[in-house]
Amino acid sequence: LPGNPAPRDCSGRAAAYQQPLPLGGACLGPEGPLRSLLPGLAVNTAITAAAVAEDAAGSSTAAGAARNAAHWLGSSAMSKWNVGDQVLCHGKVAVVRFVGEVKFATGSFVGVEFLKASAGKHDGAFEGVRYFGPTAPERALFLRMESEALMPYTPEDEAATILQAQVRRKEATEQVQFAKTFKAYSNMESRGESERLINNVYSKTASTILDDEAEHGEGGGTKPMPPKTPKTPMVPMPSFEALQLEVEPEASDGGDITARAPRLDFIVDDVGRTSVDRACLDAVLRHVKRPGAGPLTAGCMARLIKAGMDLLRKEYTSALNEIESPQLPGRVVVLGDTHGQLEDVLWLFFEHGEPSANNVYLFNGDVADRGTGATEIMALILLFKIWDPNCIHMNRGNHEDPIMNETYGFRDECVDKWGVKKGNDLFNAFNTLFQYLPLASLIDNEVFIVHGGLWRRDFRLAQLRRLPFRRPLPERPGVGTDILLFDSVWSDPHEGKGIGSNARGDAIVSFGADVTRRFLKADNLRLVVRSHQVPDSGNGYEWHHAGKTLTVFSASNYCGDCGNLGGALILMRGEQDQIFEHWAPPLEELQLLEEEADRAQARIRSQARCFSQQKASRKKARERMELDIIRRVQELVVRRKAELFEYWAEADTSPRGVFCIPATLWREGCATILDDSMPWVRLQEAMGVADANGQVHYVKFLTRYRVAFDCSFGLSAAGWERAVWSKLMETLLRADLPLREALAALDATSDGLVSAVEFARLIESCHVRITPLQSRALLRSLAVGQGRAAGTADPEQSWSTTATQANAGRVSVWDMLGRLTVSLPVASASTAEPEAAQWAVSMLRPLAAAVLDDAWNRVVPAGAPVSDWPVAKVLAAWFEDVDRTHNGYLDEEEFVAAVATLAPALQKGGCPTDTDSLRRLARYLDVVGNGRINYFELMNGLTWEDSLGNDFREDVVETLHASIFFNIAPMRASLRRFDLELNGQVTPEDFVKAWRAVSTALTAAGDGNDSLGRSQITEIASHLQRTPSGEIDYEAFLRSFRIVDTHLLPTPR
């Protein structure tokens, strides 16, 4: 490539070979049995020939395998062909029909006729000249005499070729499926990281709210909070002493495995520079290589971080680290993301040599998170850095920041290894250290290395050098220097032009080839190297922008799921760039390899075995990734349930109550509402959503996945769930709206249907403190209930008519009113005596029967179909008929007068009809206690059977669960401000205060769907169990929420 020497692409099994091979050699790669490599490939000839023979063993004889191997390695199997020879051409049986010169080109050609397949391009005539034939159409083909596509025919070779073709087709199909799954998995992971950025915005807003409340003495918290969070993004760098991390002796940590960890003996010279001798470094290396070895002690890590911080503070004074590579044969080894996968780092040290003055390593960010060995990798980096500052370097990635570390495992790793107190102290110390790392490195003034990529604006290296980089990474690009900080660790390349969108999220950009060209030209560079993402191919590297941008990713079999190779880039002065790929063996195998005398042969055997394992694991890796994708889809479905229901209901043309749509429409809705990068055809099959006719019952699909409260952590949800539900329904009942106002609020267009907008207006007019998401869940459940009722009706009735698009997603006003009742009557505010309430409840059923009979006899038009007059509508008609004052209410006298006319029916049901008894019933129905009965109060009293059903109740409760589940990160961050003891417990007052701050932050950011009302938060807090000290175990509470598939598991209660 112009300006960029061709890379030494050492993919596949050849990655570990170190012996030179003459130009024109070949080796096995991951994508097929054989492929030629670019000049300069390092490969062991003998091993490669053996591998070729092994892959060619489709032949039934060793001689056939050897002949094929010799042919593919360039031996001259045949220099001349004769007419009539039977041959294999491109693996298909053919006969030579012509040998000689032709008019359409110079040189000798062979013309063949295929016997069994139409694999040719003509019938023996070409460009108006017939050379042989005519054959059947498309059975003839010309090839040059020396073409390697021609081989002598043998039955064994034909069988081997057919077998190899079948294997290749199968592998190609599997590779396509793997690539699609891998890309979806990668996009899913990227979007998850972007969502974490958004959550951190909520956390910071909530923190600011708590700061303001503390400053003005609001909120009623009981524990003192840490000092106020600075609002300026330029956070001053704390000193090591400010971290309050005790540098204690190692022996104090105890523990059998940890106690055997080596001590760190630092050497301090006359000028105060700290160093470490090689023996100490080797002791730590041996320790971390031992399977099952415990971590270094907390005191040891504290001293190491302090020494590293002092060194980085002095060395990295600019955001751009300018490195001069060592003289030949010295080199720079560039590694991409390692993500806590210690095995990869140790293998790379074994394969390419440990860091030294002539073998310089550059870690291009994202050492932390995902894996459980990040602290060991950081310890090795710091030790090598202290031993020889020039032998190892590290750029900062987007995971060298607490925003990611809180969620993706680095904090948990620290706490698991050193306990809550020491682990959190070391976690904070590491994140302070990360802020001293440069954003990018420049090798020999020609190769620019950055974790993410280039920026949405054209910046020069001079601007990067001036960037104040010792600060937390921003959650948003912002303006000015924030753009440099943000895009350096978050952007990705795309193959178009200019700055484009990014699947990771709205705030993140992709940069095109023209952006790369301008950047390289402006500062006279030749290559951009970045990391940040696993290549979609599953390789350890990927080229972009016509070879001007290179992605290197070093964590093989990423997260234990992906089945990808790891990669490393080697840069040498004036030499061609080299790319090596690997599949890291487990620590046990690495130990055995190091003990072998012939390390080169051991390395070859190990990598050959590992690449074989990698190839065999692709199918299992795809299955594991699919399971992770399905879990992600479940989260998306739960989060976007309302939007999915509205999308599918709008397009649903099935009969009322059926709720079935074609699978194509299901996939369309999922791609539009959830994520268009997901393989929805494959997911449809894997999740089993379609029936034998290709139809999807979308209501069953939506109710299949729920956020459930898991009681296994010692908490019970029953109390606060019931309390929130009862509060919601009681508030609606006590709104005390007159009949016509209630109906107008429900159905403003007077078309008999309630839309989402109309229902939201009702909720607002009633001052019901529920979120918009809960309101939509209520309406969705009402629509589903209406459909279920309709599904049981006579097909000849109007209930079974096909829903039109105009009515889709809306609910009959009477069906909705008939279901908006509580499971038992809400006691009147004026009813203080339990005996009186018990008597009143026993009289409600005969009263309801008498009222409904009267309405059917006097008010409902004669001959009206029962299906057109649900109970709610019948009661509304009766209510309006007996409302003599026409004010929308029944005062006590109106109610007594109307019911007195029903005396015979009441007496038949055992209900007394004297005036005092009727007044007692009126007072019981008057829930508000204002001397009058509104329509909802009448409904509550006369239709009190459980019309809601469990599904309806669960839909609303689930919105509470979802609001918590999807905001665990900002809730935990806010609660930790009050948890000074780091024991996972806070007082109920602080619990409410922290949660309200998060809810306010969500509303301020326009994400009110996920917020909860103040009364709901208070109800939840008041019903949560208390610890013996009277506090709430918020960690157990937050861990109790998870998404379940109700088709597979019972919802935990």
Q: What are the catalytic residues?
A: 399
Distance from C-alpha of 48 to C-alpha of 45, rounded to nearest angstrom: 5
What's the sign of the alpha-carbon dihedral 57, 62, 67, 71?
A: positive
From the list 466, 460, 433, the residue with the least C-alpha distance to 448 is 460
Query: Tokens 């046990």 correspond to what residue?
Result: 588
Q: What are phi and psi of 573, to 5 degrees?
A: -60, 125
The pair of structure tokens assigned to 331 is: 């080199």
3-state DSSP assignment of residue 938: helix
Distance from C-alpha of 13 to C-alpha of 25, rounded to nearest angstrom: 14
Q: What are phi and psi of 100, to 5 degrees?
A: 150, -165
Distance from C-alpha of 569 to C-alpha of 443, rounded to nearest angstrom: 12
364 near 531, Cβ under 8 Å?
yes
The pair of structure tokens assigned to 56 is: 């060619």
Question: What one-letter code names the amino acid at 763?
Answer: I
Q: What are phi and psi of 577, to 5 degrees?
A: -70, 145
Q: What are phi and psi of 986, to 5 degrees?
A: -140, 165
Residue 551's DSSP bridge partners are 530, 542
Query: Tokens 């295929």 correspond to what residue?
Result: 114
Distance from C-alpha of 414 to C-alpha of 369, rounded to nearest angstrom: 11
Query: Tokens 């390390």 correspond to what residue?
Result: 599
Residue 362's DSSP bridge partners are 334, 393
125 near 138, Cβ under 8 Å?
no
30 near 539, Cβ under 8 Å?
yes
- How big is the CA angle at 104 (ends 99 and 110), to the nearest 5 degrees? 20
From the list 1053, 3, 1052, 1051, the residue with the least C-alpha distance to 527 is 3
Q: What is the DSSP letter of 325?
A: P
636 near 675, Cβ under 8 Å?
yes
From the list 891, 708, 729, the residue with the least C-alpha distance to 821 is 729
What's the sign of the alpha-carbon dihedral 9, 11, 14, 15?
A: positive
CA 49 to chain centre: 44
CA 323 to chain centre: 36
From the list 593, 610, 585, the residue with the least C-alpha distance to 342 is 585
Distance from C-alpha of 71 to C-alpha of 149, rounded to nearest angstrom: 10
From the list 91, 94, 76, the residue with the least C-alpha distance to 145 is 76
Query: 368-394: buried (b, 16+ CB within 10 Å) or exposed (e) per residue?
Result: bbbbebbbbbbbbbbbbbbbbeebbbb
3-state DSSP assignment of residue 1011: coil
The pair of structure tokens assigned to 793 is: 């009706």
What's the sign of the alpha-carbon dihedral 529, 531, 532, 533?
A: positive
Distance from C-alpha of 516 to C-alpha of 493, rounded to nearest angstrom: 9
- At a CB cut-off of 8 Å and minimum separation 6, what does 452 contact? 397, 398, 487, 488, 489, 490, 491, 492, 530, 532
Q: What are phi and psi of 96, to 5 degrees?
A: -75, 125
Sequence length of the chain is 1053
End-to-end CA distance of the chain: 63
From the list 237, 268, 238, 263, the residue with the least C-alpha distance to 250 is 263
